[in-house]
Structure 1
């Protein structure tokens, strides 16, 4: 049992990351971790050649099972559904591939994949598992997994965020955006927003939020510059959420909204505002995400 505990603890952050990328929900990822441990504790470790691969297989299968219930919840969700934001440790941003894979923009792209396609893409492209290991996990032949991986890569490539952006470019854009929002500066926002910028809001029917996406720099700028609350009660705090720049919005000191940014070519192309309080519990402490143990 001590050996099982040690192996699980060693790979815990990696397993959480796998489940989170599969589900887009930290709460559900935590449940998957519990289910993974219960099954792992019953395994005869003498039969396990690769503990990491075995644990990932359990976590992935549990995530696939849970995706079905999440799908039913989304069908009755009020307004836009956004992934649950995570306050992340600085080293997540340092791992470019990991940060890219857990960004709000990428998680929304992964939402457009079928469950098995999502599992194959995540395990191959992010966690670099071999095709035969993935085949065992999703109960397909290696040849079928290769075809699924090819199809998923093409699907994601057509929708994923554009090329890499330098740290300096990201910092400049996020700081300019924050200044413009704080000052209610419409022109400042127009200067930093891409013409086709999209703003999505998620209140889950609990907090007031946009029920439909807002598209276009002019509409988004005017919405962000409008003052719906006393400016003295509003504060914006820069943070790294899902490995990328974000603003934590507080009203009278209380967490109200997590606003994450997608930045391409020096301009803000995507804004994701999560207000649903049920999705903000992981904003109290930084979450360690890992691609490796």
Structure 2
């Protein structure tokens, strides 16, 4: 993966410019609701699920509006309060997710989202949709990054994302995680080590990634196993998330030849498949459709001129954004 996490220093912190509301005056509604975008960004990176992220944001605002106007007026930084509450809800969900994952059928992958530089919640990315409903995609939401985040402990994930991605100080993170600031710093440092260890040695530019993905699609559709093997790293890995709701071949494959044969077998087993190049979590990926319906979204990690990882989402419950009209209507070209 190509994301290079920041160093272990405290950069300029988010929210330092906020001014406290006037005395005995509840915060302006627009100011409070303008935090929705940041909260959705945060919750998606912490949970890897858009549906869960939306639930967290709704719950966060429900708790805000459950307070009296007088109590709201006492809060100097509404954005900080909302972030703290959302972070705590996400932390609780991450802790309970471990038990839920034990009951999940097969491999679990983060929910893929369509888009290059941005995506909207079920609306045209070029429309006049409320910016509060828009999430900006960057390297911290690539599938490779989210998969590594999922390997961290809940506390490590929250500390790292809040500090390294959203630039919150450890003093504030301590209130979310329930540990001392120094302990939160160690959590972020530990998370950073895991992420660096998983980085792709040679991360190509987006244009080169797109060229490799395009060649891969053409070789796949031509059912050219030799070309596919040449485009796959010898130690490539492929993981498929079905949620136990659809049939699939092997949920996990390793090695270029095994993956290539599995992909070609899919074309033999399932008729009328088409493969399109689309942006998946901000990077070039593939969307597989059957009779015009999206059945698989595939994120690919590229190192140099070869594909090293393939993450295929086939769980229909995680393909909702790809089935609202067409995925192309919700994405911005890379």
* More off after superposition, 186-195 vs 41-50: 41-50
- Which of 88, 94, 103 is the aligned partner of 1:76? 103
| Structure having the larger proportion of residues in helix | 1
- How far apart, in 2, do the equivalents of 1:12 and 1:79 lie? 33
Asked if structure 1 preserves the Cα contact closer than 8 Å seen for 2:116 and 2:137, the reply is no
- How far apart, in 2, do the equivalents of 1:205 and 1:228 lie? 22
TM-score by length of 1: 0.89
- Counterparts of 1:113-128 in structure 2, within 5 Å, are 113-128=152-167
Provide the secondary structure at the position in 2 that maps to 1:228: helix
- How far apart, in 1, do the equivalents of 2:74 and 2:268 lie? 61
Asked if structure 2 preserves the Cα contact closer than 8 Å seen for 1:238 and 1:247, the reply is yes
Higher Cα Rg: structure 1 or 2?
A: 2
Asked if structure 2 preserves the Cα contact closer than 8 Å seen for 1:193 and 1:269, the reply is yes
- How far apart, in 2, do the equivalents of 1:199 and 1:12 lie? 35
Q: How far has the Cα of 1:75 moved from its partner?
A: 0.4
- Counterparts of 1:232-271 in structure 2, within 5 Å, are 233-271=272-310
4+ runs deviating over 4 angstroms: 1-4
Q: How far has the Cα of 1:228 moved from its partner?
A: 2.9
Provide the secondary structure at the position in 2 that maps to 1:245: strand
Match of 1:174 in 2: 213
- Which of 85, 108, 133 is the aligned partner of 2:112? 85
- How far apart, in 2, do the equivalents of 1:204 and 1:91 lie? 27
Q: How far has the Cα of 1:50 moved from its partner?
A: 3.0
Provide the secondary structure at the position in 2 that maps to 1:262: strand
1:90-136 CA-partner distances (Å, limit 9, x unpaired) = 347xxxx9522111111111111111111001111111111112112
- Which of 67, 76, 81 is the aligned partner of 2:94? 67
Please, what is the CA RMSD of the aligned residues? 2.3
- Which of 52, 73, 76 is the aligned partner of 1:49? 76
Uncovered stretches (5+) of structure 2, i.e. residues with no partner: 1-24, 120-135
Cα pair distance change 1:208/1:2, threshold 3 Å: farther
Q: How far has the Cα of 1:211 moved from its partner?
A: 4.8
Number of aligned residue pairs: give it.
283
